A and B are shown apart, each in its own frame.
Chain A
Amino acid sequence: MSRSLEQKLFHSAGYLFLIALAVLCVLPLLFIFGGSFTSEQSVIRNGFSLIPKEWSLEAYELAFKNPKDLFQAYFISFSVVAVGTAAGLLMTAMTGYVLSRRDFKYRNFFSFFIYFTSVFSGGLVPWYIMMVSYLDMKNNFLALILPLLLNVFYIIVMKSFMSGIPFEIIESGKMDGANELRIFFKIILPVSGPALATIGLFIALQYWNDFFSAMLFITDQSLMPLQYYLYKMVNSMDALSRMASMSGVPIPQMPKETLKLAMTALVVLPIIFVYPFVQRHIIGGVTVGAVKG
Chain B
Amino acid sequence: MKKEGLMHELKKNKLLFLMLLPGILYFFVFQYIPMSGIVIAFKQFRFDKGIFHSPWVGFDNFDFFFRSGKAWIITRNTILYNLAFMATGLILQLATALFIAEIGRKFVKKYIQTTLLFPFFISWVVVGTFIYNLFNFEYGIINHYLKDWGMEPVDIYSSSSSWSYIIVFFNNWKYIGYNSLIYLAAIYSIDKSLYEAAEIDGAGIMQRIRLITLPLLMPTIMILLLLAVGQLFRGNFELFYNVVGNNSLLYNQTDVIDTFVFRSLIQSADIGMTAAAGLYQAVLCLVIILVTNFTIKKYNSDYSLF
Contact = CB atoms under 8 A, between A and B. Distances in A.
A286 B185 contact: yes
A35 interface: yes
A147 B113 CA distance: 31
B53 to A, nearest CB: 12
A253 interface: no
Contacts of A261: 129, 133
Nearest to B173: A24
A114 B20 CA distance: 11
Interface stretch (B64-72, B77-85, B98-106, B154-162): B98-106
Contacts of A110: 20, 24
Interface in B120-134: 120-130, 132-134
Interface string B160-196: 0000000000000100111001101110110000000
Contact of A126 (B13, B40, B121, B176): B40
B262 A205 contact: no
A82 B177 CA distance: 26
A25 B102 contact: no
Contacts of A98: 16-17, 19-20
B116 interface: yes
Contacts of A245: none
A246 B122 CA distance: 29
A60 interface: no
B129 A22 contact: no
Nearest to B128: A234
B92 to A, nearest CB: 9
A181 B34 contact: no
Interface centre among B17, B31, B278 (most CB of A within 10 A): B31
A100 B133 CA distance: 48
Interface size bracket, A side: 35 or more
B44 interface: no
B90 interface: no
Contact of A283 (B117, B138, B145, B242): B117
Interface size bracket, B side: 35 or more
Nearest to B181: A286
A161 interface: no
A193 interface: no
B139 A43 contact: yes
B204 A17 contact: no
B23 interface: yes
Nearest to B10: A106
Contacts of B219: 293
Nearest to A276: B114
Interface in B5-23: 5-6, 9, 13, 15-17, 19-20, 22-23
B16 A124 contact: no
A289 B189 CA distance: 12
Contacts of B6: 106
Contact of A35 (B35, B115, B133): B133
A261 B208 CA distance: 47
A74 B69 CA distance: 43
A212 B238 contact: yes
A218 interface: no
A85 to B, nearest CB: 15
Contacts of A122: 31, 34-38, 278-279, 282
A18 B133 contact: no
B200 to A, nearest CB: 13
Given A21-B176, A257-B139, A117 B27 contact: yes
B6 to A, nearest CB: 8
A44 interface: yes
B262 A124 contact: yes
B257 to A, nearest CB: 10
B33 interface: yes
A257 B205 CA distance: 50
A48 B96 contact: no
Given A18-B112, A286-B178, A123 B126 contact: no
B182 A114 contact: no
20 contacts: A7-B205, A28-B122, A43-B139, A48-B136, A48-B140, A49-B141, A94-B23, A104-B13, A105-B5, A105-B9, A117-B32, A123-B279, A127-B30, A230-B129, A234-B132, A260-B133, A279-B114, A282-B181, A290-B189, A293-B219
Interface of B: 5-6, 9, 13, 15-17, 19-20, 22-24, 26-27, 30-38, 40-41, 47, 50-51, 95-96, 99-100, 102-103, 108, 111-130, 132-134, 136, 138-141, 143-145, 147, 173, 176-178, 181-182, 184-186, 188-189, 202, 204-206, 219-220, 223, 237-238, 242, 245-246, 258, 261-262, 265-266, 271, 274-275, 278-279, 281-282, 285-286, 289, 306
Given A106-B6, A125-B37, A286-B185, 10 more contacts: A6-B206, A14-B99, A18-B103, A180-B15, A209-B122, A230-B129, A264-B129, A264-B130, A286-B182, A290-B186
